[in-house]
Structure 1
């Protein structure tokens, strides 16, 4: 019989590793849903941005509410809203601000500028998580963040003409700031279910847009695309993100979110026949390579056995 006390034992934690991998998948799926935004928006002919924000938010709120009622029942859904507390209110406010600012910013600045600002989300999330909660950020994560920012900068460099819109670029920066804060809060308060918080965010966005919209009347065709814009792009994306971001570090969740600006041009190319430029392809390749390498390293780290006593797991005696 082996004396386990005399030699270091190898300890594995399959349950947390499984949760982390589920978190990876869900956050990636959220980025996938969000990446359809530009493609869907190209089909919408509504001129008033606030009308688009209103209907997009209404459909997203309806989807999220139906999803929670289907999953938890009416009583369970009401309990989720009551239990989310201040962290949930903060996350709801952040998502309401970010989703509204995204649609409005498109009227003032280029998509390139917005994407460049969003490339800073992983860095902001990592800094906030470290400064506020001392969440450790590995060297490989910092390197991946730097590579992502460089890759997105290459992607949008052809579209940066030097024209600065204070309103548009300010809104783009606000999107990055709010999204990074929501990511950190979701991770920090992982015991709180944040799906009701995202639903609250869409309700807040719809209410604010309703006070600003010039009209609520849209054609049947536009309403169909607004339904997809709200349910698939925003609602389903928020549901995936709120569930997955609580399972993985904030910096990694934000990194996975950068798949959105990479996949977005691909859908526009395939559906609207807009061929991406050479720099877009090169920059996208840099970002995807950095993300895949980093994810591979994380999976390798998870499957590597750890010695007892090193990770805080006591040795049997």
Structure 2
């Protein structure tokens, strides 16, 4: 919705989005750490830096890949992220993945495929497809790093991600000048959508399995067309509706089953 509303090019958008997201995350650190802010960033463990690099890689590769392939293929290839996270967490963290989570991930991936079935006819390029796979691995890597370092504060990692992405975008953008029209949109895009989103994700993913964290992130391609439809009255098409319902339905059914299982296993009230 935001990208459709601004006139800036992609690299300029990434720069300002990263800049405003950094302001939000840095401000959050100032509030939480007070006088220890410099030490927290300086002494951040390698896990934080690694996670920041993963998020940065996913963000930059997405922009570059758009020059080589379609959004449809990128979203579909991003859909492999929960599977990669599940396998990696099983091998590295010995974190079991329930059968219902595998089924939900498969249903979500099929849903994404249905959503983009018309756009797949536009074709693509092997370079773009490879970058799409890199995005899936990068996002899964960030999730596994987060799960394996649950006692480490990850807000510094999110700060590093915005610094890395912003620096790369600054070197690639033809100009970082933006209009007064674009400024409020990009402020919201970085401060609210990315900054707040990364803070919530890094906090929440510490408490659920890596596969489920990656699965929840797949709501993005399902809800994106809904926002565009609400604001611009742009018809997403029948396939997008069917695929989106299937993707969101997979997540809802998985959540309801977990809630039911939790109540069933909970001890009776005294």
- TM-score category of the 2 structures, normalised to the smaller one: over 0.9
Query: 1:65 & 1:143 partners in 2: Cα distance?
Result: 39
Distance 2:122 2:172 in 1: 30
| 2:220 alignment counterpart | 260
Does the Cα contact within 8 Å between 2:68 and 2:124 map onto a contact in 1? Answer: no
1:67–1:86 CA distance, 2 compared to 1 (3 A): same
Asked whether the 8 Å contact 1:83–1:192 carries over to 2, the reply is no
Report the counterpart of residue 236 of structure 1 in structure 2: 196
Q: Is the 8 A contact 1:151 1:284 kept in 2?
A: yes
Q: Verify: 1:156 aligned to 2:99, yes or no.
A: no
Please say if 1:45 is aligned against 2:7: yes
Report what 1:202 is aligned to: 162
If the length of structure 1 is used for normalisation, what is the TM-score? 0.80
Pair 1:84–1:248, CA change in 2 (3 A): farther
Equivalent residue in structure 2 for 1:90, among 50, 56, 74:
50
Is the deviation greater in 161-170 or in 231-240?
A: 161-170
Q: Against the structure 1 CA distance between its residues 78 and 44, is the aligned structure 2 distance closer, same or farther, given a 3 Å change threshold?
A: same
Higher-Rg member (1/2): 1
1:214-248 deviation line (CA, Å, top 9, x unaligned):
21212111222221221122111111101110111
Deviates further, 106-115 or 141-150:
106-115
Q: Specify every segment of 5 or more residues in structure 2 that has no aligned partner in the other structure, as ranges.
A: none
Note if 1:67 corresponds to 2:28. yes
* CA positional deviation for 1:202: 0.4
Aligned mates of 2:67, 2:235 — CA distance in 1: 23
Asked if the contact 1:183–1:253 (Cα under 8 Å) also holds between the matched residues in 2, the reply is: yes
- TM-aligned CA deviation for residue 129 of structure 1: 0.7
**What is the aligned partner in structure 2 of residue 119 from structure 1?**
79
For this pair of structures, how many residues does the alignment match? Answer: 267
Q: Distance in 2 between matches of 1:107 and 1:224?
A: 27
* Within-5 A mapping of 1:163-242: 163-242=123-202
> Paired residue for 1:78?
38
Determine if contact 1:50/1:104 at 8 Å carries over to the other structure.
no
- 1:29 corresponds in structure 2 to none
Deviates more, 1:197-206 or 1:214-223: 214-223
What TM-score do the two structures reach when normalised by structure 2? 0.93
Q: Structure 1 residues 74, 169: closer, same or farther in 2, change over 3 A?
A: farther
Which of residues 227, 240, 244 in structure 2 aligns to 1:280?
240
Unaligned runs of 5+ in 1: 1-38, 308-317
- How far residue 67 of structure 1 moved from its aligned partner, in angstroms, is 1.4
Distance 1:52 1:304, change over 3 A: same
The alpha-carbon deviation at position 166 of structure 1 amounts to: 3.1
Query: Which residue in the other structure is 2:19 paired with?
Result: 58
Measured in 1, the distance between the counterparts of 2:183 and 2:70 equals 25
Instruction: Tell me how far 1:79 sits from its aligned partner.
Output: 4.3
